[in-house]
Chain A
């Protein structure tokens, strides 16, 4: 897959709303007014960062920042989409609780919380975290230090991909407060970025998920309250700390406020990482990646076709779009007006998640592609839980038989049965996500399922 990180369009990507021109803050800093928010610095240096965004305000009242984040509606950008302020508040509360309990039980050492920025990006179709760390590392650092200040941690850790680590180390060396952040390189792998796997990696050096009955906010690394936030989440938080919740919400929709960084790949002219307004229709994002190929086609310029026609033309080569990555779901080509929002995508088993959009062209068979992804996911099991180890390959195998046009009418029902059987029966959500993806492929490609069962394929004949 070749994904290049294109600069966001100069005036921001097309989106549902535009912000009023904000007033300059002290120091002549102007809050970003368009969808281009996170990638405004001319280069990744600290000087360029400060020039555009100004200094980070001090965190004097942790609760005030938590409240600002609550009002912003920021959700986590690592995939699960948890509310960010709730996680912050949970770690704050459990730190206070443990320390009170410890003091009352006779002077045991207090438990300082652990704060981790997660840029491990185990999802093979995602490049946005790497792009962010290479292009805007100082926003990530600002956000991480702000989280640490909020929960009362003096140090923090970045758990990132190899590429991310190089960028982050360079950035950390540029600033005095960078010394408070340690960089840990995450191994490759689909489940290594799962939050309990991150805690396990930092505690034991093994990046596999672990069993848990209480949330990490209560007991994570070495039993300490642990906050794990995705690097994009941290960058967004750094902007909210500067410009406020109302500014954050001035772009996007009521349900999906702010911007989101997405990775578009597959059958598009220009695969890219792009910052879009929350709630942008999927077809708008895809069309932007079709038109921006290698400058405008002269034939298009001569043609008076308007944008909508151009978008429709560009989308005619699309069979379906996988949204949310390998744990996400397929949206068929007829439904691409759907906005990139949690509520609208739920019926497809999809979610904005880590912002992954993978385009399947009309030249590809949806069932074959899905079977390959299911096989990959089965192979990515951390091989700890019996149901995951046995159930995922079984499910992938039945799907591959369907993809290979075995004329066995029982195959779809068997896939549904196995998906139901594995769901909720592992120590992490890998079985659930894999089951959801496999079920979405049966729904999105139902005409193909019927054809395959008759020994035909729309693509391969």
Chain B
């Protein structure tokens, strides 16, 4: 997939992008980022954000607060199928 490479800046907060075509629901990221990610009944990461309407939510791009950047970077590095990536907030 051709996409821009992004640096994680850590200061302004980033989005954790989930590539659903890769994720196989092993749940490692949900352990590292328990405050941001829940697991659904099939094991897939479920963003713990409840703002806005059903349609407005972008649950493939999970907001990561500044103090969780390191944990998020770990999740990106450790996901066994490289389904995660950090992108800047638009």
Contact = CB atoms under 8 A, between A and B. Distances in A.
Size category, A interface: 20 to 34
B20 A219 contact: no
A214 B55 contact: no
A447 interface: no
A223 B55 contact: no
Secondary structure at chain A's binding surface: helix, strand, loop or mixed? loop
Contacts of B44: 386-387, 425
Contacts of B58: 424
B84 to A, nearest CB: 11
Interface in B54-70: 54-55, 57-61
Given A213-B87, A386-B25, A427 B42 contact: no
Interface stretch (B1-9, B28-36, B71-79): B1-9
Residue with the highest number of chain A CB atoms closer than 10 Å, among B2, B17, B25: B2
A387 B44 CA distance: 7
A421 B40 contact: yes
Nearest to A391: B42
A390 interface: yes
A423 B42 contact: no
A221 to B, nearest CB: 9
A425 B25 contact: no
A425 to B, nearest CB: 5
B21 A211 contact: yes
Nearest to A221: B2
Nearest to B19: A211
B23 A386 contact: yes
A385 interface: yes
A210 interface: yes
A222 B36 CA distance: 34
B57 A214 contact: no
A432 interface: yes
Given A211-B20, A214-B4, A424 B59 contact: yes
Contact of B2 (A222, A385, A390, A435): A222
B90 to A, nearest CB: 10
A222 B1 CA distance: 9
A415 to B, nearest CB: 14
Contact of B20 (A222, A223, A386): A386
Contacts of A435: 54
B55 to A, nearest CB: 7
With most chain A CB atoms within 10 A of its CB, the pick from B19, B20, B25, B55 is B20
A420 interface: yes
Given A219-B3, A386-B42, A211 B59 contact: no
A402 B22 CA distance: 33
Interface in A416-453: 420-421, 423-427, 432, 435
Interface of B: 1-4, 17, 19-25, 40, 42-44, 46, 54-55, 57-61, 85, 87
13 contacts: A209-B21, A210-B1, A213-B4, A214-B3, A214-B4, A219-B2, A386-B44, A420-B54, A421-B46, A423-B57, A424-B57, A424-B59, A427-B19
